[in-house]
Structure 1
Amino acid sequence: MQTLSFIPALLMLSACAFGGADDAEQADLQASCEALVGAETDTGPSGVKAISTQSDPTGSVTSVFVAGAEAPWLCRADATGVVTGVEYSREG
């Protein structure tokens, strides 16, 4: 994974706040995750979709479907909603 290739996009798209209960904030986080995973995988918007978001007091993990991938990608965010990274959930 080329971490440096998406850092500028990460900084621009991850500035949303995430309180856990607010649907709009969760939607913003999922949209940021979709954009970052799409950039990392070179997949257009129609091929990337957030599946679910699980949160706890320390942050959240959003699972993201990518067309053609065998497993979902994971998008991690801290408790304030700042995305800290994306990674493929399967080794290889």
Structure 2
Amino acid sequence: MNNFFLKKLQGKDSEQVDEAKLRTLAGQVKRSDFEDEDKLRQIIQSLAALTGKKITAEKEDKIIEMFRNQEISIHDMSSITKLLK
């Protein structure tokens, strides 16, 4: 697991992210999951839960739309973590 990514998820004022849970989540995610809206929503909700952040339905919809418009790359997870802040 990239420690930089873990630190980005934790942020300055966030609770500590359980690295084992993050690894488990990452191991369960497939590329095709990012094309399935329901699975993508589950991933977003799981990441929010891991970081201790509340995510509104509006913010979740915005993230989904950004994936559709290819404004967020699955290869650049830091952009997702910024949206969860």
What is the TM-score with the length of structure 1 in the denominator? 0.41
Return the structure number with greater helix share.
2
- Larger RCO of the pair (alpha carbons < 8 Å, separation 6+): 2
What is the TM-score with the length of structure 2 in the denominator? 0.43
